[in-house]
Amino acid sequence: MTISLELMPLDPTPPEPEKPKTMVVRYGYLMSIGEFENTLDHKVGCGTKLVARTPRGTEIVEMLTTVCGNGGCGKSITRDKLLDYIANSGGDDYPFSNSGRILRVATAGDMAEQQKLDEQKTHHLKLARDLVSRHRLEMKIVEVEYLLGRERVIFYFHSEMRVDFRSLVRELAAVVHARIDLRQVGSRDEARLIADYEKCGQHCCCKQFLKVLTPISMKAAKTQKATLDTAKISGRCGRLMCCLRYEDQTYEELKAKLPRRNSRVRTQAGDGWVIDGQILTQLVLVQYDDGKQAAVPMEQILEFNRPRPRLANGREMQFPGDGVLPPPPNRDGRPNGRNPGAAANRPPRRAGPSTPPKQPGPPPQGSSSDPPPRSYPRKTSDPDTQHPSGQSPPPGTNGVDKLE
């Protein structure tokens, strides 16, 4: 019996994936994002330092990911996902650029050259601040940024008003021997440049991942029932912390589900008034008609906006104890004005005999409240003339009446 062994055919070698045409990189002190043309012949991993030509000049950038057509190769993403991320993160306000090109992978010489440029930062910061003081400009120099290609030196400054810094630019250019770019930033961008950690122990959100810094209102802190002490809810920039808006939408959606205060609801225990509500736990504090209070989950409320009972005069009650007790205080504890129920239930005044109004007449003698004017004799030619009463004249008059 002959046994023949045939070799199994090997699977063909899979084709090499197509080289990504673009790369998504991060550059600059303000952590701008760009999608630049990829001119490299080999693959590089995420986090690799590259030398790229950006809209500002030649500088060192950090690779974040690549953009592929199918998005199935490695850690690449599709262009649709990239555009959706930008639209959800700020839209037109998002710092995104696609006018750039990847030149090469950063070498040890490139990194040493960049470090040599950064060593001049302390000297140039002190020089710029001294010139600002000399020119008496209302501005604060925050940070200095150098590009690898030496096309420009960027000075970031903070000011609450517009500043004419043309003379400052001329003197800085004469010392630095490069093109000077003065860029005005706000309080939040200032914290993004120089801040490090926040109260939570993490890096500042504006420095780590936030690109569009939208203003935060005190309403978000009140909705989340955070402390209203601005020192505790303010960040490194002195403004309200950006993390207050992370859950603001969730709080608003949960708050809309709760019934309004002083409205009537029906539960398994009967009808009652809504006194208060907890947003996160979705509990409603209900006061029943017998005066008892209980915390009821939203799932156990059978009916909302029940009709309100009426008083003896036919008016609807506005809150528990309306017409008997004063209105409940506001959320901040202040009194809620006068009691409308007490005014409505007060019996009307009894009409009495009408009395004619008094006619104004001349004031009686000796009843004027104004004191009589005091008169003093005129000064004569004799300087030694004394007051008729034998006393010295009042101080400040010298015995002479002021003639108009």
Q: pLDDT tens, 342-365? A: 444 455 556 555 555 556 556 555
Task: Tell me the percentage of the chain whose pLDDT exceeds 90.
Answer: 37
In the prediction, which pLDDT does 330 show?
60
* Residue 286 shares a structural domain with residue 321: yes
Determine, yes or no, domain membership for 165: yes
Q: What is the pLDDT of residues 307-338, one digit of tens each?
A: 998 888 888 888 888 876 665 566 555 655 54
Write out pLDDT tens, residues 259-289: 999 999 999 999 999 999 999 899 999 999 8
**Same structural domain, 74 and 118:** no
The residue that leads in pLDDT, 250 or 386, is 250
Are 274 and 294 in contact by the 8 Å Cβ rule? The answer is no
- Examine the domain organization and report whether 172 and 119 are in the same domain: yes
List 183's β-bridge partners, or say none.
Answer: 156
Confirm if 191 and 204 have CB atoms less than 8 A apart: yes
Same domain, yes or no: 80 and 137: no
Backbone φ and ψ for 141, nearest 5 degrees, come out as: -75, 125
**pLDDT at residue number 92:** 81
Provide the token pair at 312.
């003896």
For residue 341, name the pLDDT band (cuts at 50, 70, 90): very low
73 part of a folded domain? yes
Identify the pLDDT of residue 364.
54
Q: What integer pLDDT is reported at residue 329 of this predicted model?
A: 61
Contact yes or no for 146/153 (Cβ under 8 A): yes
Same domain membership, residue 124 and residue 101 = no
Residue 343 falls within a domain, yes or no?
Answer: no
pLDDT score of 13? 63
Q: What is the pLDDT of residues 282-308, one digit of tens each?
A: 999 999 988 899 999 999 999 999 999
Tell me how far apart the alpha carbons of residues 360 and 368 are, in angstroms, rounded to a whole number.
Answer: 15
Residue 37 above 70 pLDDT?
Answer: yes
161/89 same-domain check: no
In a domain? residue 237 = no
pLDDT above 70 coverage of the chain, percent = 73
Is pLDDT of 394 > 70? no
pLDDT of residue 348: 55
Summarised one tens digit per residue, pLDDT across range 6-17 is 555 556 666 666
pLDDT at position 381: 44
Q: How many domains does the chain have?
A: 3
* Sign of the alpha-carbon torsion through 110, 115, 118, 119: negative
- The residue among 185, 212, 234 that closes a domain is 185
**CATH number of the domain that residue 148 is part of:** 3.30.300
Q: Decide if 228 is inside a domain.
A: no
Same domain, 39 and 102: yes
- Count how many Cα atoms sit within 13 Å of the Cα of residue 326 in the half-sphere of its side chain: 7
Q: What's the CATH code of the domain at 299? A: 2.30.30
- Of 157, 185, 213, the position where a domain reaches its end is 185
Tens-place pLDDT, residues 119-129: 999 999 999 99
Whether 191 contacts 236, CB under 8 Å: yes
Residue 147 main-chain phi, psi, to 5 deg: -100, 150
Residue 316 belongs to domain spanning: 264-335
Which contiguous run of DSSP H or E holds residue 66? strand 57-68
Half-sphere exposure of 367 (CA within 13 A, CB side): 4
CA distances for 293 relative to 64, 271, 274, 279, 296, angstroms: 57, 11, 10, 18, 9
Do 88 and 118 lie in a common domain? no
One-letter identity of residue 85: Y
Residue 389 has pLDDT above 80, yes or no: no
In terms of domains, do 50 and 66 share one?
yes
pLDDT in tens, 93-121: 888 898 999 999 999 999 999 999 999 99
> Max CA-CA distance within the chain?
167
Does 190 map to a domain?
no
Q: Is residue 222 domain-resident? A: no
The answer to the question of residue 200 being in a domain is: no
State whether 144 and 166 are in the same domain.
Answer: yes
Please state, in angstroms and rounded to a whole number, the distance separating the CA atoms of residues 83 and 87.
6
Answer with the one of 132, 152, 185 that is the final residue of a domain.
Answer: 185
Give the side-chain half-sphere CA count within 13 A for 87.
6
Mean pLDDT value across the chain: 80
Confidence of residue 75 (pLDDT cuts 50, 70, 90): low
CA 11 → CA 7, 15, 50, 66, 139, distances in Å? 12, 12, 37, 29, 69
Q: Provide CB contacts within 8 A for 355, sequence distance 6+.
A: none
> What pLDDT is stored for residue 125 in this prediction?
94
